């Protein structure tokens, strides 16, 4: 009993207001994770017990607070695999994801995550445009699901772009995340083969004294001006609205844009602090806008310095990306950082696995990236190396699988 109390208090203490939304079943129920189940041993910590429901209106992993470890994986259907095989795969994947996210072993488990709780594991599935041709479902492609246009600053590797199927895995434990990745890959055998795979990370929950906005590998506070679930227009910005007809399968879904964006860290770190801050338009130490106030003070794009210059420079990233500069276009940014070692000359291969979620890519990423492509001061320090767009169906109910409404109706 005492152990359970400590677990509950730790959970609330480390998760804070934002984190608590995603950590539901574990805090209340205790014995989660096939580690602790039935052993009568010590309770899992708050990190281990965090469990995010798999079933729901929307898939988990979109509004879930950032997890410490992430894997992105894209698959192409194997030769000869069509709609029937894809449906069976999504059924297997959903069953395995449901089990693992609730702390139970999936069928045929390899025991990699045996000692751990679910650690806020989420598994989110999406379809690339090519999936619809492979499965004879081109008449079900939503009007908003258009290929991303080319941008002048793109340096894309097609082998690490696109894909028929996509999964995003997030967890607060690296073994739990890897376990889920391996289970998905094994379940796909014979039906789909891995096209590309990327690994990312964020700060571990509880590593800071209080819940804070994450930092990226340039050292900036990143995520401050994201739409918030409490905003009245949040759902309209992030989730596809309900509709009938051929597109109804995507009700409650969203579109994920995935870009592997390398940071040119040597160039960036040579830049003096005041110029780094001018590139973004926010202070590096605490994320406060250069127009004044604290991190959460709204950015004042019309403010001038005493010398007559703009407080937020004309090419500052936050000015160019702001909804006010893009006819209200917005998206929910939910990235992972990545580090894939060093090039032969010592250049770090590191940056952002930029994942953003929106109800309509044309009125989200595409509109904003078109503007950034032309006038963003940050573009001298980053390089977009891969790109993909996925339609991510809404969540499924008990006994259903993700994508069933597309594949079986």
Ligand X SMILES: C=CC1=C(C)c2cc3[nH]c(cc4nc(cc5[nH]c(cc1n2)c(C)c5CCC(=O)O)C(CCC(=O)O)=C4C)c(C)c3C=C
Under rule CB under 6 A, which residues in 293-322 are in contact with ligand X? Answer: 299, 317-318, 321-322
- Nearest-CB residue for ligand X: 225
Q: How far is the CB of 335 from ligand X (least distance, A)?
A: 8
Binding segment for ligand X (CB under 6 A), chosen from 195-203, 264-272, 347-355, 388-396, is 347-355
CB of 380 to ligand X, least distance (A): 12
- Least distance (Å) from ligand X to the CB of residue 279? 9
Which residue of 119, 141, 177, 280 would you call a contact of ligand X, by CB under 6 A?
280
Shortest distance, CB of residue 355 to ligand X, whole angstroms? 10
Q: Which of 382, 392, 396, 406 touches ligand X by CB under 6 A?
A: 382
222 flagged as catalytic? yes
Choose the binding region for ligand X from 29-37, 104-112, 363-371, 389-397 (rule: CB under 6 A): 363-371
Residue from 44, 188, 256, 261 that binds ligand X (CB under 6 A)?
261
Binding positions for ligand X, 58-87, rule CB under 6 A: none
Closer Cβ to ligand X, 205 or 351, answer by number: 351
- Locate 403 and state its tokens: 């994508």
List the one residue from 127, 336, 338, 365 that touches ligand X (CB under 6 A): 365
Site for ligand X in 178-237 (CB under 6 A): 216, 218, 220, 222-225
Closest to 101 in 3D by CA, of 112, 115, 117, 125? 117
- State the catalytic residue, choosing from 164, 222, 315, 376: 222
Exactly one of 290, 372, 389, 391 binds ligand X (CB under 6 A); which one? 372
Choose the binding region for ligand X from 118-126, 201-209, 351-359, 396-404 (rule: CB under 6 A).
351-359
List 156, 352, 396, 406, residue binding ligand X (CB under 6 A): 352
* 354 near ligand X, judged by CB under 6 A: yes
Shortest reach from residue 233's CB to ligand X, in Å: 14
Write out the chain in H/E/C secondary structure.
CHHHHHHHHHHHHHHHHHHHCCCCHHHHHCCCCCCCCCCCCCCCCHHHHCCCCCCCCCCCCCCCCCCCEEEEEEEEECCCCCHHHHHHHHHHHHHHHHHHHCCCCCCCCCCCCCCCCCCCCEEEEEECHHHHHHCCCHHHCCCCCCCCCCCCCECCCHHHCCCCEEEEEEECCHHHHHHHHHHHHHHHCCCEEEEEEEEEECCCCCCCCCCCCCECCCCCECCCCCCCCCCCCHHHHHCCCCCCHHHHHHCCCEEEEEEEEEECHHHHHHCCHHHHHHHHCECCCCCCECCCCCCCCCCCCCCECCCCCECCCCCCHHHHHCHHHCCCCCCEECCEEEEEEECCCCCEEEEEEEEEEECCHHHCHHHHHHHHHHHCHHHHHEEEEEEEEEEECCCCCCCCCCCHHHHCC
Which residues are marked as active site?
222
Contacts to ligand X by CB under 6 A: 216, 218, 220, 222-225, 259, 261, 263, 280, 282, 299, 317-318, 321-323, 351-352, 354, 365, 368-369, 372, 382
């Amino acid at each position: 009993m005492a152990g359970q109390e400590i677990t509950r208090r730790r959970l609330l203490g480390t998760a804070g207001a934002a984190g608590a939304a995603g950590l539901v079943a574990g805090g209340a129920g205790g014995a989660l994770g096939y580690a602790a189940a039935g052993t009568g041993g010590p309770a899992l910590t708050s990190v281990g017990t965090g469990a995010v429901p798999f079933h729901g209106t929307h898939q988990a992993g979109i509004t879930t607070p950032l997890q410490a470890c992430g894997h992105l994986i894209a698959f192409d259907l194997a030769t000869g695999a069509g709609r029937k095989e894809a449906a069976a795969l999504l059924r297997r994947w959903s069953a395995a994801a449901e089990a693992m996210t609730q702390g139970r072993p999936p069928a045929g488990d390899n025991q990699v995550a045996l000692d751990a709780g679910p650690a806020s594991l989420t598994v989110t599935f999406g379809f690339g445009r090519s999936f619809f041709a492979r499965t004879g479902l081109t008449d079900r492609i939503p009007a908003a699901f258009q290929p991303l246009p080319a941008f002048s600053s793109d340096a894309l590797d097609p082998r690490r772009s696109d894909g028929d199927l996509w999964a995003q895995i997030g967890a607060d434990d690296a073994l739990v995340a890897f376990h889920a990745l391996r289970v998905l890959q094994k379940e796909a055998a014979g039906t789909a083969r891995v096209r590309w795979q990327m690994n990312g990370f964020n700060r571990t929950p509880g590593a800071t004294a209080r819940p804070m906005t994450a930092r990226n590998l340039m050292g900036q506070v990143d995520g401050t001006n994201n739409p918030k679930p409490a905003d009245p227009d949040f759902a309209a910005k992030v989730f596809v609205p309900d509709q009938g007809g051929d597109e109804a399968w995507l009700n409650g879904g969203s579109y994920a844009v995935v870009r592997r964006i390398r940071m040119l860290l040597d160039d960036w770190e040579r830049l003096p602090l005041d110029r780094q801050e001018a590139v973004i338009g926010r202070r590096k130490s605490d994320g406060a806008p250069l127009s004044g106030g604290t991190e959460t003070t709204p950015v004042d794009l019309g403010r001038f310095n005493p010398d007559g210059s703009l407080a937020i420079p004309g090419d500052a990233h936050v000015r160019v990306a702001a909804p006010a500069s893009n006819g209200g276009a917005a998206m929910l940014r939910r990235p992972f950082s990545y580090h894939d070692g060093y090039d032969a000359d010592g250049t770090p291969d590191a940056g952002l696995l930029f994942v953003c979620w929106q109800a309509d890519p044309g009125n989200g990423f595409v509109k904003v990236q078109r503007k950034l492509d032309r006038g963003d001061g940050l573009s001298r320090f980053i390089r977009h190396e891969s790109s993909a767009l996925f339609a991510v169906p809404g969540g499924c109910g008990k006994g259903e699988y993700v994508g069933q409404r597309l594949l079986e109706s």
